[in-house]
Structure 1
Amino acid sequence: MIQTVIFDMDGVIVDTEPVHHYAYNQHFKQLNIDVSPEMYASFTGNSTKNIFEKLKTQFDLQEEVATLVETKRQLFNEAFDHKEDLFLLDGVEDLIHDLHQNGVQLVLGSSSAKVTIDRVFKRFGLHPYFSHIVSGEDFPQSKPHPAIFLHAAFLAQTPVESCIVIEDSTNGILAAKAAGIYCIGYDSFHSKMQDYSKADKVISHFKELNFEKIKNIRF
């Protein structure tokens, strides 16, 4: 029986991608670099630190990675705080409540920084529903490396075969599968240029999931 569901955040719980996109592109203009849509899409599921490590190499940036990360974070926070039309994705709040009420442990496994996760969780009152929060900034390698999901299962004290991951990105799905965890791919209209072929199940709306459908999932 499934005991723990591990949620990604961006693109699964809330669509902060437009805010991230705005912040990154403002920063790219400041740095005078041209990041193609294809390159940007390939970063989905990566931590900000890992993204700027790649960009520093690609564009021979002189700034330190920590400085680049902090500048982008400030741009994101300012945009996030002023964006009024930011909502939880349709149906995910009902799913979170349903799973929580039925005793399923919920863990967040997001590549976002802790300060960003906390900002989202406080805005939408999500802290009471999640037993643990795992941030990608705590790991040297981003998704598709499985470390973030393996650690989430460890904190939940749940065998990987009794966990599910819900992800919207190619890198996140690959990370879940590398961790040996059943993965549900969330392919919504927010998703762009992501590959769901490795997911065990693909949904386009959270109304397709509930406790009864999830509890007895088997590989």
Structure 2
Amino acid sequence: MIQTVIFDMDGVIVDTEPVHHYAYHQHFKELDISVSDEIYASFTGNSTRNVFQKVKDLFQLEQEVEDLILRKRHLFNDAFDSKPDLYLIDGVEDLIKDLYANGFQLIVASSASKSTINRVFNRFNLHAYFSHIVSGEDFPKSKPHPAIFEHAASLSIHPKENCIVIEDSTNGVQASHAAGIYCIGYTSVNSKNQDLSLASQIITDFSEINAETIKKLG
């Protein structure tokens, strides 16, 4: 019986991708580099640190990765605070409240930085529902490496076989699969060109699942 639900954040709880896209591309413009749509799509599910390690290697940048991260974070925070049309993904708030009311433990495991996760959680008052926040910035390797989900499962008060992951990215689904955790793949209109074929099941709308149906999974 499933008792712990591990949520990805970007594309699952909230769509911050347009803000990230704006911040990254403003930064790429400042760096005078041209990052193709194909290369950018391959970054989905990676931490900012891993993105800039790849960008630095690819474009032979002289800047330190930490400096690149700080500049992008500044651009993101400015855009995040000024963007009025930032909403939770349709149906996810109802799902979170339903799971919480039915005694599920909820954990977020996101490639985003702690500051970004907290920014989102503060804006939408989500802290009360989640027992733990796990950030990809604490791990040397990003999804599809399973470390982030293995750690999230270790924080669960229930065994790993009683946990599931909800993900919307190729890298995230692969990470959950590698960690041996049942994965619900969410086909988000905001996450383009993602391969969810390794997911245990795929949904297109959060109304397709609830506390009762999730409890029976695994």
Aligned match of 1:118? 118
Q: Deviations over 1:92-131 (max 9, x none)?
A: 0000000000000000000000000000000000000000
TM-score scaled to structure 2, two decimals? Answer: 0.99
Q: Does 1:164 align with 2:164?
A: yes
Q: CA deviation at 1:133?
A: 0.3
Q: Does 1:39 align with 2:39?
A: yes
Q: How many aligned positions are there?
A: 218
Q: CA deviation at 1:159?
A: 1.9
Structure 2 stretches lacking a partner, 5+ long? none
Q: Return the letter of the residue paired with 2:52.
A: F
Aligned match of 1:92? 92
Q: How does 1:100-139 map to 2 (within 5 A)?
A: 100-139=100-139
**Helix, strand or coil for the counterpart of 2:173?**
helix
Counterpart CA distance in 2 for 1:159 and 1:193 is 33
Q: Return the letter of the residue paired with 1:37.
A: D
Q: How does 1:4-43 map to 2 (within 5 A)?
A: 4-43=4-43
CA RMSD of aligned residues (A): 0.6
Counterpart CA distance in 2 for 1:78 and 1:117 is 15
Counterpart CA distance in 1 for 2:7 and 2:86 is 19
Q: CA deviation at 1:157?
A: 3.1
Q: CA deviation at 1:160?
A: 1.7
Q: CA deviation at 1:49?
A: 0.2
Q: How does 1:64-75 map to 2 (within 5 A)?
A: 64-75=64-75
Does the 8 Å CA contact 1:160/1:179 hold for their aligned counterparts?
no
What's the % identity of the aligned pairs?
68
Aligned match of 2:82? 82
Runs of 4+ in 1 over 6 A off after TM superposition: none
Q: Deviations over 1:184-218 (max 9, x none)?
A: 00002112010011111000110001011100112
Counterpart CA distance in 2 for 1:121 and 1:197 is 29
Q: Return the letter of the residue paired with 1:81.
A: D
TM-score scaled to structure 1, two decimals? Answer: 0.99
Counterpart CA distance in 1 for 2:32 and 2:160 is 44
Q: Return the letter of the residue paired with 1:34.
A: S
